[in-house]
Chain A
Amino acid sequence: MELTGKQNIWKDYQKEIADDKYFYVRSCVRQNFFPGAETTFLRILKDELHKDIYEHPCHTTCTGIGYHGDVVPFDTAMTVIARQFALMTEAGYENLVPSCVTSFGLYSEVLETWHHFPEVLARVREHLRKATGREFNIPKNVAHASDVIFKFRNEIAQKAKYKLINTATGKPLKVVEHIGCHYSKMFPAKGVGGAEFPYVLIGMVEEWGGEVIDYPERRHCCGFGFRQYLVQANRGYSIGCSHKKFESMEPYEPDMIITNCPGCPMFLDKWQYAISEMNGKTYGKNGQGIPVFTFEEVAGLVLGYDPWDIGLQVHQVSCEPILDKMGIKYDPATKYLGKNGKYLGVPEKPSVLKD
């Protein structure tokens, strides 16, 4: 079929996402801040979509945090990434699925470097061979975890138990979608919709019944910026960026924020607490915040998973307002019970931000 007009232009903004047989690499940040998100992703792919997804127990950090924090040199980053590829090759997989947007950006950067400078690839192969005795193949397909959920958004919608709809009013929930900078701002061709029209989260939200808000600072960074946060003296810039976004989205009265990056949900969630403690301002209704979710958590809620199984109790901003709006049944008594009913302890209440 010959594509013409808009279809022809739009094809440049599409990306190929593998169908099955994924090699999954976890994120350093997400395992700590949103531990339920990755488990939910694996559960959806294995139990709902019946896909072959494998994670190697020996895989390590991609070094992204150190690399962007200026403490890990690029050659080291490339060799560590080559080792991940070696683990994937040994396990018999060809489609890499990183959980982290920064990993995804770094994998893309490394692969692009090797594509343009084959001599660098040869050097990295030699480094890896000398250090570990391993060999590797370059992955056939690299797709971020949100790309995979985006690909199967229709299947998830068909199995949905809840929609992103306010059950009291029957209207779609107003959702702020926030894409991680390293998803498509570095290599636009590697992201769905490129840097200009990143469609990966919009596709999910619209398919699951929600309505996306277009606000002035929609494409502004959350402010993580690695050195901006990692160096305490620079944290004012980090919180300043989130503050700017909240001020910009506030008039549109969003019900929730959905993100695909490890840093963004962390900062958009926790900075709401910090801002409320620093200047007394909250951005939700009745002194509450705007709940922030990862795309896996939203997919899990849509599929009817127990909110406490997908780790929503570790969020700073309470998720209950959204659960109530969507009509999701939950047991408040089990909120702080971990696996096998183990009591996790109740966090201290913020002085300004309401539950």
Chain B
Amino acid sequence: MADFGYKIQEDRQINYDSNDRTLFYFLKRVEPSISLCIGCGTCSATCTAGQFTQFDLHKIMLYVRRGEKVHIANEIKKCMLCGKCSLVCPKGINTRNIIFQTRKFIHSNK
């Protein structure tokens, strides 16, 4: 294919009609506290893995809601399941279980 010195920029529009949000619905069923998330970012601020890598639970929660599964599969492996995010969450969300269940879902849907 021809190389003109530039590429077609990928469209970054979030399309809720075509995105697959089954992961979000699955998590809502197995860990209903996910619905309480207000996106404050405290989980990311305290994350040990986030100190050393680009891992960001706040961002993952956003991807889960949008149905952008490709990004989640790459990111979720970085978590060490220490559970500090669960301790600091102001809404009492079981974030550790959300990560655990997300891994399970992605693994079983490979």
A residues touching B (Cβ–Cβ < 8 Å)? 232-237, 239-240, 243-244, 274-275, 277-280, 351
Contact = CB atoms under 8 A, between A and B. Distances in A.
Given A232-B6, A275-B8, A278-B4, 17 more contacts: A232-B5, A234-B6, A235-B5, A235-B6, A239-B6, A239-B9, A240-B9, A240-B11, A243-B8, A274-B4, A277-B4, A278-B1, A278-B2, A278-B7, A278-B8, A279-B1, A351-B2
The SS class assigned to the B binding surface is loop
B7 A236 contact: yes
B86 to A, nearest CB: 40
B6 A277 contact: no
A236 B1 contact: no
B1 A277 contact: yes
Contacts of A280: 1
B59 to A, nearest CB: 23
Contact of A279 (B6, B8, B9, B13): B8
Contacts of B1: 277-280
A239 B5 contact: no
A286 to B, nearest CB: 21
Nearest to A234: B6
Interface residues of B, number: 11
Contacts of B10: 240
A277 B5 CA distance: 13
A331 B2 CA distance: 33
Contact of B6 (A236, A244, A275, A351): A236
B8 A236 contact: yes
A287 B51 CA distance: 52
A246 to B, nearest CB: 11
B8 A240 contact: yes
12 contacts: A232-B5, A236-B6, A236-B7, A240-B8, A243-B11, A277-B1, A277-B2, A277-B4, A278-B4, A278-B7, A279-B1, A279-B8
Interface in B1-24: 1-2, 4-11, 13
Nearest to A232: B5
The SS class assigned to the A binding surface is helix
A244 B4 contact: no
Contacts of A237: 9
Most buried by B among A232, A234, A278, A280: A278
B84 to A, nearest CB: 40
A239 B4 CA distance: 11
A244 B10 CA distance: 9
Contacts of B2: 274, 277-278, 351
Nearest to B2: A277
B5 to A, nearest CB: 6
Contacts of B9: 236-237, 239-240
Nearest to A223: B9
Contacts of B5: 232, 235
Contacts of A239: 6, 8-9
A266 B2 CA distance: 20
A233 B6 CA distance: 6
A243 B12 CA distance: 13
Contacts of B11: 240, 243-244
Closest 9 CB pairs of A and B: A240-B9, A277-B2, A236-B9, A235-B6, A236-B6, A237-B9, A236-B7, A239-B8, A243-B8
Nearest to B9: A240
Nearest to B12: A240
A274 B7 CA distance: 10
Most buried by A among B4, B5, B6, B11: B6
Contacts of A243: 8, 11
Interface string B74-99: 00000000000000000000000000
